[in-house]
Copies of this chain bind each other. A is one copy, B any other.
């Protein structure tokens, strides 16, 4: 049987990290592939008490339908947290969504006609590229350096490209490179977006996980005209299994996202939204984040040490000030996809860098996650990778 699918399906293929995840489920593997938090840090005891309390105190309301916008006290709490990041907003600026990924998908739905152009960093989060592709987007990738996106390159592209409909950025500890934008670049991006009247999707899953250096407020805090659509999430600071995240944007833009969410899936989980709210009310999430930071900083340091000591000197990398990933650029003759196949035989996984380029590019890079594996596995896995790399460079 051969049904007629929509045109967009021709552009949709599996998201590589999810494919690797499926592989992981089947094997005892050391994985630097996913962006998974450390399971040791999930506040299980607290969430156990919270689940019981939510059902006792909220009763059936915790299990019933609710408004699409989300649970009001949660939106209030989030608006307050945004305030601490220099973004002054109210509940009308917040919509609760099923993971920040849904915010990316809805942004594609809101802004993109087929063949519209999305501007993003080169490389960028592969899940975002995949989501925009489902709306038949074209991509123009802009180079990045240690201070963020190269904005003169961006200006050149905007001056010469028609149909650009949105700019997608991850300014904090970017996935996959770990790079962070300077305050100056953030401010400058707003100027450019104002000039070209473009919305900016600021994807910020790791912003609160800074291990060193000075805190820089989100691009949204520099927004002068309400064109930044900020995506935040509890996935990396509480747990990803709950699928609770938010969009923070101008209130008229939020209304459009609500119109998209209604027919897409009606609302987020009524009980989980209350659980997250009670966690924020009764426990100190900032202390919890401090704990995560200490833990991940240590894992990052172990991974960096292993690269320094074991990897061939031709492997270039930079030390991320936060987030979950280290980006390694290998000599040009090394194809990371081929390397992955060999690594999987050795029961080690990572994501080949080529997957993060919207258009084909740099196959000689790899993204390494350091948050998920315990130190002894990081050490062992990195040794195996180093061995493969040395062999690769000998060939």
* B contact residues around A101 at 8 Å (CB): 263-266
Closest to A198 in B: B3
Closest to A60 in B: B39
* Chain A interface size range: 35 or more
Q: Is A335 an interface residue (CB 8 A)?
A: no
Q: Is A316 an interface residue (CB 8 A)?
A: no
Listed residue (A2, A104, A113) with the most chain B CB atoms within 10 angstroms of its CB: A113
Whether A14 pairs with B52 at a CB distance below 8 angstroms is: no
Whether A5 pairs with B110 at a CB distance below 8 angstroms is: yes
* B contact residues around A324 at 8 Å (CB): none
Expressed in whole angstroms, the Cα–Cα distance for A9 and B106 within the complex equals: 11
Whether A36 pairs with B64 at a CB distance below 8 angstroms is: yes
Expressed in whole angstroms, the Cα–Cα distance for A55 and B34 within the complex equals: 23
Expressed in whole angstroms, the Cα–Cα distance for A2 and B256 within the complex equals: 13
Among A267-275, A350-358, A377-385, the stretch in contact with B = A267-275
Expressed in whole angstroms, the Cα–Cα distance for A253 and B112 within the complex equals: 26
Closest to A197 in B: B3
* B contact residues around A66 at 8 Å (CB): 241
- Taking the closest CB of chain B, its distance from the CB of A169, in whole angstroms, is 17
Q: Is A376 an interface residue (CB 8 A)?
A: no
Q: Which of B39, B131, B165, B263 contacts A130 (CB 8 A)?
A: B263
Q: Is A48 an interface residue (CB 8 A)?
A: yes
Q: Is A68 an interface residue (CB 8 A)?
A: yes
| Known A-B contacts A6-B112, A111-B3, A270-B241; A134 and B42 likewise in contact (beta carbons under 8 Å) | no
Q: Is A213 an interface residue (CB 8 A)?
A: no
Q: Is A102 an interface residue (CB 8 A)?
A: yes
Among A15-23, A77-85, A307-315, A336-344, the stretch in contact with B = A15-23
Q: Is A51 an interface residue (CB 8 A)?
A: yes
Whether B134 pairs with A263 at a CB distance below 8 angstroms is: yes
Closest to A253 in B: B3
Whether A240 pairs with B6 at a CB distance below 8 angstroms is: no
Q: Is A40 an interface residue (CB 8 A)?
A: yes
User: What are the interface flags for A244-268 relative to B under an 8 Å C-beta threshold, 1 for contact and 0 otherwise?
Assistant: 0000001001001001101111111
Q: Which of B2, B62, B256, B266 contacts A99 (CB 8 A)?
A: B266
Q: Is A222 an interface residue (CB 8 A)?
A: no
* Chain A positions near chain B (C-beta within 8 angstroms): 1-9, 12-15, 18, 21-22, 25, 34, 36-37, 39-40, 42, 44, 47-48, 51-52, 55-56, 59-68, 97-99, 101-102, 104-105, 109-113, 116, 127, 130-131, 133-135, 165, 197-199, 225-227, 239-243, 250, 253, 256, 259-260, 262-272
